[in-house]
Amino acid sequence: MTTASTPTWPGAFGAEPRRKRRALSRELIVETALKIVDTEGLDALNMRRVAQELGTGAASLYAHVANKDELLALLLDRVYGDLGHPEPDPDRWREQAKEFLRQQRDNLVSHGDLARAAMIQNIPTSPGGLDAAETMLALLRAGGLPEQVCAYAVDVISLYVVATALEESSRKKPGGQTDERQVEAYIGGVRSFFSSLPAERYPLIVAMAGALTRNVGDERFEFGLDLLFDGLVAQAGRTFD
């Protein structure tokens, strides 16, 4: 059931941290799980760890959350729920859409490698995910694109955002803050790997090692966005059936 009974909260907030019976709730569990993902990464997230953080046992969580998959879905829903939903303006739809997607990506990368969970869950079924899809569809429709083009496009685009977020997050240790040194070291490692390959077999990869690992701010992400929207506009005249 989605409606958890309202949690009782006896006494002042945080007054008795070690009272025997803590007041658990979906929200508290999701909050705690998100904190773990933020600081230690998705791999460190397990039911026992969440329970430990709440000073209880894993079994207690199952009164509020069906299973780990549902917990992950709730995490994603929470992250997608943090998005602002602009009013579509036909004159600015493209920039609005790009801004919306930037926000979506930033939200994801700010929560460790949570994007990895989003990658598996391909079709949005949670309120937050549906809200995001609805907003994106509205922006595309505001651009005057045909219905079927919008339908196909919304899939490709959100896929790109999630995948980019995943790639971005994989460059950072689960530690947390954007240590520029860390990212640079990772990129450098990949570049030297490409450079070290046999040039007879991989001439282009070797020659383009620099271009392939270029990492200047959000240039890569922005390139993909422009590519997608240019392609989208070019496909606008396409007919179906």
Contacting residues toward DNA, per CB under 7 A: 5, 8, 10, 19-24, 45-49, 55-60, 62-64, 67-69
* CA atoms of 176 and 148, how far apart (whole Å): 40
Among 147, 176, 178, 185, contact with a second copy (rule: CB under 8 A)? 147
Among 5, 6, 125, 177, contact with a second copy (rule: CB under 8 A)? 125
CB–CB of 90/142 below 8 Å?
yes
* CA atoms of 116 and 169, how far apart (whole Å): 9
Buried b (16+ CB within 10 A) or exposed e, 17-47: eeeeeeebbbeebbebbbebbeeebbeebeb
* CA atoms of 103 and 100, how far apart (whole Å): 5
By CB under 8 A, tell whether 3 contacts a second copy: no
Instruction: Identify the burial level of 191 via C-beta atoms within 10 angstroms of its C-beta, where 0-12 means exposed, 13-18 middle and 19 or more buried.
Output: middle
Measure the CA angle with vertex 140, ends 135 and 143; round to 5°: 130
- Closest distance to DNA from the beta carbon of 61 (Å): 7
Among 1, 12, 15, 211, contact with a second copy (rule: CB under 8 A)? 211
178 binds, among DNA, a second copy, none (CB under 5 to 8 A by kind): none
Among 111, 116, 165, 177, contact with a second copy (rule: CB under 8 A)? 116
- Closest distance to a second copy from the beta carbon of 86 (Å): 15
- Closest distance to a second copy from the beta carbon of 16 (Å): 39
Residue 63 vs 185, nearer CB to DNA: 63
By CB under 8 A, tell whether 83 contacts a second copy: no
Residues in CB range of 56: below 8 A, 6 or more apart? 22, 24
Residue ranges that bind a second copy, judged by CB under 8 A: 116, 119-120, 122-123, 125, 130-131, 133-134, 137-138, 141, 147-156, 159-160, 163, 166-167, 170, 190, 193, 197, 201-205, 208, 211-212, 214, 219-220, 223-224, 226-232, 234-235, 238, 240
